[in-house]
A and B are shown apart, each in its own frame.
Chain A
């Protein structure tokens, strides 16, 4: 019976199994939340990367053309009738300086194109195709060698900025010619010359060598590079020794008291003070009080040194801290003085870390703009500075000035300058990374 009942009830139970009650702990919901959270994170990382990509793409796509400059190959006849009509060149040296050199280029262009340049309108359009920089180019040729007068030379002259933009396809040629800067006649000539290979893009050495210019095609950042180089040299000479000395004191010698605490808090704060405040300091102390000249790379270098000092101190202290105490104990144990221990053993071991920190600090200083604006580096400097006391600009300041120019061709120039600046920064940072990889020691 019991068997029966058991066997009778068993199939019943198997037919209608007791419902297992899963306590709802929301696992589905929680996993969904988990996936959402993960996606948000991924999206955030991707947005960050996309921003970087957009930034670089925007700069590079606008700027890579700046390294090519449209030039025209012309057979220029140095006609005595134009340069020196009255034959006064030997008696009056101003004649050669003031001669109408652009006319030579215009004539040569007319001859190449086979058009009549005696028509004033045609002549104006022809001269509009050639950069005004041709004046100094031809003048320097004549001043270098007066015997050139009367002869013919084949040289490359720069095309005007608008022709350059048109040749690079940056000007929309479908709009009516009254609303763009190159007219149809000029475009036709341009295409004809380009077809013959007379007008072509050549590597732009001017952007590296020239000084400031109000004409985009002859503007370059040579002066800015020299200025930046002076400043970096000053930062290196001042900030590195002072920064290392300060870190050695704080890390190895300083007693733990309120004074060193104060210095520590101070250094951390200085690292976070807005850079423009350093510019105000430089203006008030170095220019107004000490009477140093405005726009000089010396003042810029001093200001940037003060700014870089905290970065170098923080990096150096980290590098000193990483040297294990056993090295110090060993040196002291065999009778070195504390000073000998630091300078003969700890410092050499910390050197790679210090160097890396210094390079990163220098890279920061190289890209810094705001303080330099205040000490008068926003200046139109066409002449190369011979000493750090001469007026100069800096790479980022040059970028700032070009960014404020209205002309279309300056956008390309600015982007080109940014590419150069970023190349410098990349080179410095990669050097720092390589140094770290090669020399970093783990104890």
Chain B
């Protein structure tokens, strides 16, 4: 039976359990003449939980474990000369057996008789059924495939019996246990609490998942490329994913040019966004009338809601060509030779557009912090005769400074992790330059480049993306933690 069918049978049983639990509780309470401890619905839920939880846990465990068990068993049945081969060859053979097994399922009785004729006879039959076999196989694989099919059929049959049996057993046990004095509500609430805790643990699991998955790939990357070469290399030239005959040492994986590009572009973006964002925040917080504020603040925040791919496209088709043509005009006026010194894809283009994206982050974060400064400080300063701008510069900003620095760090971490704008606007050439008019590339661009297209999961060319991702993760993590620390520490001052 398919997993979906099993699931729906268990769900039907669950509904039965709920109804049965409720009625049983009512009946037994009436029979014994006592009041139920909990409301009747809780007895229904009590029976329902006993029905689904054990059976679904068993189902999940079975689905996770059985493929691995069958896999080992099939490998054990391989002839001795195959077992003597390397792990990789055995893996290939196993993949072959898998696809033969899948193909065999599509054959009817009559065609099955031809299977015994050996691999060469089988191949065209399978091909006609739409299962193309990659390489040349050997005859033992057919036996293994038949065995594999047999085992997985048996496993599925037993899984169906066990899961449905366990669901039934749980149902019966729960109904048998129901008495008026049983504290059904407490049991149900305990189960709900465990579920709530489980949900909140998912956040932790995600972080652990990120770190572990990237760490394992990164370690296997460092097996072929030394860590020192990665972290301190100044040349990024990964070549193409390993073709036949080349070795991993062909590519050079230097992080420095990518990191430089990332930081440079983020710096240009911050250079644009921070003054505009801060001034906009102070204007909106201190000077703007309520009408102007109600109109301008949401509009600026719209900038934060626009997907970054839209900014990337804006940079690609509008800002980049505009800067290029502008620079051509300028050099035409100054030197008489109209060559553009700004390239369409450049640090400046990417930084400028990313800066636009960051304006609302800076302004609304700073706005919150500025308005959080206690009214008394502002009034005190104004009462002593300071102008508003003096109050702003000499009283409010210093008081809000830690918070603003925290906000800027958060913004910077966003700039460093930004992907789509730089993918479309910064270029792909990894080089070290200080000229903002030339293209540079970033860590995120290279992650995308290395991982789109056909993947071979063992080559350093793809694994390097995980090393880059891990580096990015730790940089942003550091910035975020430091920012949150500063913001928290600052908040304590006024509370």
Query: Hey, which chain A residues are within 8 Å of B477, CB to CB?
Result: 269, 273
Query: Hey, which chain B residues are within 8 Å of A79, CB to CB?
Result: none
Query: Hey, which chain B residues are within 8 Å of A363, CB to CB?
Result: 305
Query: Hey, which chain B residues are within 8 Å of A309, CB to CB?
Result: 202-203, 206
A250 to B417, CA, bound (A): 28
**Interface SS, B side:** helix
In the complex, are the beta carbons of B296 and A45 less than 8 A apart? yes
Cβ-based interface call for B267 (8 A) = no
In the complex, are the beta carbons of A288 and B457 less than 8 A apart? yes
**Interface SS, A side:** helix
A83 to B102, CA, bound (A): 41
Q: A33-B389, A373-B452 are in contact. Are A276 and B419 (CB under 8 A)?
A: yes
Query: Hey, which chain A residues are within 8 Å of B452, CB to CB?
Result: 373-374, 378
Cβ-based interface call for A277 (8 A) = yes
Query: Hey, which chain A residues are within 8 Å of B480, CB to CB?
Result: 268-269, 272-273
Closest to B214 in A: A280
Query: Hey, which chain A residues are within 8 Å of B451, CB to CB?
Result: 279-280, 283, 373-374
A156 to B201, CA, bound (A): 58
Q: Which of B267-300 contact A (CB under 8 A)?
A: 275-280, 282-284, 286-288, 296, 299-300
A288 to B452, CA, bound (A): 15
Cβ-based interface call for A9 (8 A) = no
Scoring B195, B202, B356 by chain A CB atoms within 10 A of each residue's CB, the highest score goes to B202
Checking B209, B312, B317 against A411 with a beta-carbon cut-off of 8 angstroms, the contacting residue is B317
Chain A nearest CB from B302 CB (Å) reads 6
In the complex, are the beta carbons of A253 and B193 less than 8 A apart? yes
Q: Mark B175-206, 1 if CB is under 8 A from A, else 0.
A: 00000000001000100110111111111101
Cβ-based interface call for B414 (8 A) = yes
Chain B nearest CB from A365 CB (Å) reads 10
Query: Hey, which chain B residues are within 8 Å of A34, CB to CB?
Result: 387-390
Closest to A63 in B: B313
Scoring B192, B286, B466 by chain A CB atoms within 10 A of each residue's CB, the highest score goes to B192
In the complex, are the beta carbons of A242 and B199 less than 8 A apart? yes
Please classify how large the interface on chain B is, using the bins under 10, 10 to 19, 20 to 34, 35 or more.
35 or more
Query: Hey, which chain A residues are within 8 Å of B418, CB to CB?
Result: 274
A233 to B102, CA, bound (A): 31
Closest to A247 in B: B200
Scoring A253, A283, A313, A367 by chain B CB atoms within 10 A of each residue's CB, the highest score goes to A283
Q: A245-B196, A369-B309, A411-B317 are in contact. Are A281 and B209 (CB under 8 A)?
A: yes
Query: Hey, which chain B residues are within 8 Å of A43, CB to CB?
Result: 279
In the complex, are the beta carbons of B420 and A370 less than 8 A apart? yes
In the complex, are the beta carbons of A265 and B484 less than 8 A apart? yes
In the complex, are the beta carbons of A273 and B476 less than 8 A apart? yes
A273 to B473, CA, bound (A): 7
A272 to B413, CA, bound (A): 8
Closest to A343 in B: B192
In the complex, are the beta carbons of B311 and A55 less than 8 A apart? yes
In the complex, are the beta carbons of A421 and B484 less than 8 A apart? no
A33 to B386, CA, bound (A): 12
Cβ-based interface call for A98 (8 A) = no
In the complex, are the beta carbons of A55 and B283 less than 8 A apart? no
Closest to B469 in A: A280
Query: Hey, which chain B residues are within 8 Å of A265, CB to CB?
Result: 481, 484
A33 to B387, CA, bound (A): 9
Closest to A238 in B: B202
In the complex, are the beta carbons of B314 and A266 less than 8 A apart? no
Query: Hey, which chain A residues are within 8 Å of B308, CB to CB?
Result: 367, 369-370
In the complex, are the beta carbons of B389 and A48 less than 8 A apart? no
Cβ-based interface call for A49 (8 A) = yes
A359 to B43, CA, bound (A): 36
Q: A38-B283, A45-B280, A270-B206 are in contact. Are A421 and B307 (CB under 8 A)?
A: yes
Q: Which of B331-349 contact A (CB under 8 A)?
A: none
Please classify how large the interface on chain A is, using the bins under 10, 10 to 19, 20 to 34, 35 or more.
35 or more
Q: A59-B314, A284-B213 are in contact. Are A275 and B199 (CB under 8 A)?
A: no
In the complex, are the beta carbons of A281 and B424 less than 8 A apart? no
Cβ-based interface call for B448 (8 A) = yes
Closest to B217 in A: A284
Q: A34-B387, A34-B389, A370-B420 are in contact. Are A262 and B447 (CB under 8 A)?
A: no
Cβ-based interface call for B359 (8 A) = yes
In the complex, are the beta carbons of A273 and B200 less than 8 A apart? no
Query: Hey, which chain A residues are within 8 Å of B11, CB to CB?
Result: none
Query: Hey, which chain B residues are within 8 Å of A276, CB to CB?
Result: 417, 419, 444, 447-448, 469, 472
In the complex, are the beta carbons of A272 and B414 less than 8 A apart? yes
In the complex, are the beta carbons of B389 and A38 less than 8 A apart? yes
In the complex, are the beta carbons of B283 and A403 less than 8 A apart? no
Query: Hey, which chain A residues are within 8 Å of B185, CB to CB?
Result: 337
Q: A38-B287, A55-B311, A368-B307 are in contact. Are A274 and B476 (CB under 8 A)?
A: yes
A280 to B214, CA, bound (A): 8
Scoring B197, B278, B424 by chain A CB atoms within 10 A of each residue's CB, the highest score goes to B197
Chain B nearest CB from A422 CB (Å) reads 7
In the complex, are the beta carbons of B203 and A267 less than 8 A apart? yes
Cβ-based interface call for A435 (8 A) = no
Chain A nearest CB from B173 CB (Å) reads 24
A272 to B476, CA, bound (A): 8
A242 to B199, CA, bound (A): 5
Chain B nearest CB from A41 CB (Å) reads 3
Chain B nearest CB from A374 CB (Å) reads 5
Cβ-based interface call for A58 (8 A) = yes
Q: Which of B352-408 contact A (CB under 8 A)?
A: 356, 359-360, 363, 387-390, 392-393
Between-chain CB contacts (< 8 Å), 23 pairs: A42-B283, A49-B296, A58-B317, A241-B199, A246-B196, A246-B200, A262-B204, A266-B204, A269-B481, A280-B210, A280-B465, A280-B466, A284-B216, A288-B457, A306-B206, A338-B189, A367-B307, A367-B310, A370-B444, A374-B451, A400-B423, A403-B313, A403-B424
B interface residues (Cβ-Cβ under 8 A, vs A): 185, 189, 192-193, 195-204, 206-207, 209-210, 213-214, 216-217, 275-280, 282-284, 286-288, 296, 299-300, 302-303, 305-314, 316-318, 356, 359-360, 363, 387-390, 392-393, 410, 413-414, 416-420, 423-424, 444, 447-448, 451-452, 457, 465-466, 469, 472-473, 476-477, 480-481, 484
8 more contacts with CB within 8 A, not counting A43-B279, A48-B360, are A33-B389, A58-B318, A59-B310, A269-B481, A275-B417, A284-B217, A288-B457, A403-B424
